[in-house]
Amino acid sequence: MKYISKIFFIYLITFCLSKTVYSQDAKSCLYKNPLCFYNTDILNYLQVLHKNLQYEEMVPFFYGSSLNNKSKLEERLSNASFGYSLKRVGIKEKNKTNWSLSYQRTILGTNETFKIDCALINDTCRIYIDDKAWKTLFNR
């Protein structure tokens, strides 16, 4: 009887540890959904492109009715303020191809939370941008 209880206890511990390792792996963002690429999220990825002055690479990740001129968008992105600290704090799935993302940013020691809308268009995650969304993201 002692051996059976020891074996059961060993299996229980092994099972619990395997669940812990699996749950940590499940938190990884790599290829989990269209919002996750290069093991980061869309705004942090765009922020890296902005810091490296690759504005033309940023353009395909935006969509909206007010975005008609690609060169004008590149110019607006080059003048945008996008160097603050960002952290994604929430994802709300509206349907299979639309999400609402909540981010927290820190500017001069003050935390602020804001939301953006994303959609999967032609197998690419894109941020909806209009004048209100532009001011939310870049005019700080």
Q: What is the DSSP string of 10-77?
A: HHHHHHHHHHHHHHHHHT--TTTSTTEETTEEHHHHHHHHHHTT-HHHHGGGEE-TT---HHHHHHHH
Q: Which token pair is 61?
A: 């990740």
CATH number of the domain within which 53 lies: 3.10.450
Q: Are residues 77 and 23 in the same domain?
A: no
Query: Which among 51, 54, 47, 44 has a CA at the least distance from the CA of 74?
Result: 54
Same domain, 20 and 60: no
Both 106 and 124 in one domain: the answer is yes
36: containing domain: 31-138
In the block, tokens 């509206």 appear at 94
Do both 23 and 45 map to the same domain?
no
The mean predicted confidence, pLDDT, of the chain is 79
Domain count, the chain: 2
CA distance 86 to 69: 28
User: Which pLDDT tens digit goes with each residue over 25-62?
Assistant: 445 554 456 666 666 788 888 999 999 999 999 999 99
* pLDDT tens sequence across 84-99: 888 889 889 899 889 9
pTM recorded for the entire structure: 0.70
